């Protein structure tokens, strides 16, 4: 195993051990440690709620409710499950319930379903190369990515966020949304290809590569 991988693995194990220790202590009644336990995942659960509700205020409210629910049920959490997945599933449930309650669901038409059944054909074939992660330091890039995601249909956005942003696996995504594994795979494919097409223009215009320290703009 490469040295870097070993270091990462050891760090991961240390984090997991710390998390298990925190879970056990909260389960024994040290309630004040609960925020410390969920804090590493607060952004992820927020993203999940926002993907479903598309409203920042509602998403924040749902996150708070979901975390309170998790707190109330922490004694039922079993070590064999992944804590982050458990939190995200509670949040998704809460968000779906909120959406049902507020009846904001736009009924999907027959065309939508047919749309899902047919293959998606990529439209942009510009020559891509790896976009450096550093480009995400720029607010403009993050904003463009967020805007592209927001243009996706709800069903594609939800699957994409849970799988590619929340890192749930295909099965967990299907369970969280109450849809089949096959639907998750189809929607994920379309979401990824649509986003790729939407972002292709950005690549051609160069806004992925304009780093703050590119030539002529060095901070030193």
Partner 1 sequence: MVNREAVNCELVWHEISNYLEGDVDAALRVAMDEHFRTCQRCASVLEGTRNVVRLYGDERMIEVPAGFSRRLEKRLAHSARVSSRPWPTWSTWLVPVAAMALIAGGVRLANSRTFQPALKSEHAQTGHDIPPDMLVVVSAGANLFHAPGCGVIHNKDKERTLTAKEAMREGYVPCLRCLRKYLDTAAVGHPAALGSEASVEGDADDDLRGGTR
| Residues between 88 and 117 that touch partner 1 (CB under 8 A) | none
Per CB under 8 A, the segment of 15-23, 108-116, 122-130, 171-179 that binds partner 1 is 122-130
From residue 179 to residue 218, what is the string marking binding to partner 1 with x (rule CB under 8 A)? ------x--xx--xx-xx--xx--x---------------
Cβ–Cβ < 8 Å for 80, 36 = no
Listed in sequence order, the DSSP H helices in the chain are 3-27, 34-38, 42-53, 56-72, 83-102, 110-117, 139-150, 154-160, 170-177, 181-205
Nearer CB in complex with partner 1: 170/179: 170
Q: Nearest distance from residue 31's CB to partner 1, in Å?
A: 4
Q: Nearest distance from residue 8's CB to partner 1, in Å?
A: 15
- Total residues contacting partner 1 by CB under 8 A comes to 54
Q: 126 is written with which tokens?
A: 């510009």
Q: Does 24 bind partner 1 (CB under 8 A)?
A: no
Q: Residues 123, 128, 134, CA angle at the centre, nearest 5°?
A: 125
CB atoms within 10 A of CB 68: 13
Phi, psi of 54, rounded to the nearest 5 degrees: 60, 30
End-to-end CA distance of the chain: 37
Binding site for partner 1 (CB under 8 A): 29, 31-32, 34-35, 38-39, 42-44, 46-47, 56, 60, 63-64, 67-68, 71, 119-122, 124-131, 133, 135-137, 142, 145-146, 149, 160, 164-165, 167, 170, 185, 188-189, 192-193, 195-196, 199-200, 203
């Amino acid at each position: 195993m490469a040295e870097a991988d070993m270091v990462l693995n050891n760090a991961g194990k240390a984090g997991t051990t710390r998390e298990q220790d925190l879970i056990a202590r909260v389960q024994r009644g040290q309630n004040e440690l609960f925020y410390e336990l969920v804090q590493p995942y607060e952004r992820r659960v927020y993203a999940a709620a926002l993907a479903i509700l598309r409203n920042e205020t509602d998403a924040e409210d749902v996150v708070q409710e979901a975390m309170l629910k998790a707190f109330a049920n922490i004694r039922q959490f079993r070590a064999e499950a992944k804590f982050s997945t458990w939190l995200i599933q509670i949040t998704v449930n809460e968000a779906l319930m909120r959406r049902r309650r507020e009846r904001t669901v736009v009924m999907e038409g027959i065309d939508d379903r047919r749309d899902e059944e047919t293959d998606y054909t990529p439209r942009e074939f510009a020559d891509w190369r790896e976009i450096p992660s550093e480009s995400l330091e720029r607010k403009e890039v993050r904003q463009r990515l967020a805007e592209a995601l927001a243009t996706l249909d709800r069903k594609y956005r939800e699957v994409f966020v849970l799988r590619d942003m929340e890192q749930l696996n295909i099965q967990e995504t299907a369970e969280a949304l109450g849809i089949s594994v096959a639907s998750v795979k189809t929607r994920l494919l379309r979401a990824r290809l649509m986003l790729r097409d939407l972002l292709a223009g950005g690549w051609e215009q160069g806004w992925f590569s304009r780093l703050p320290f590119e030539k002529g703009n060095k901070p030193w």
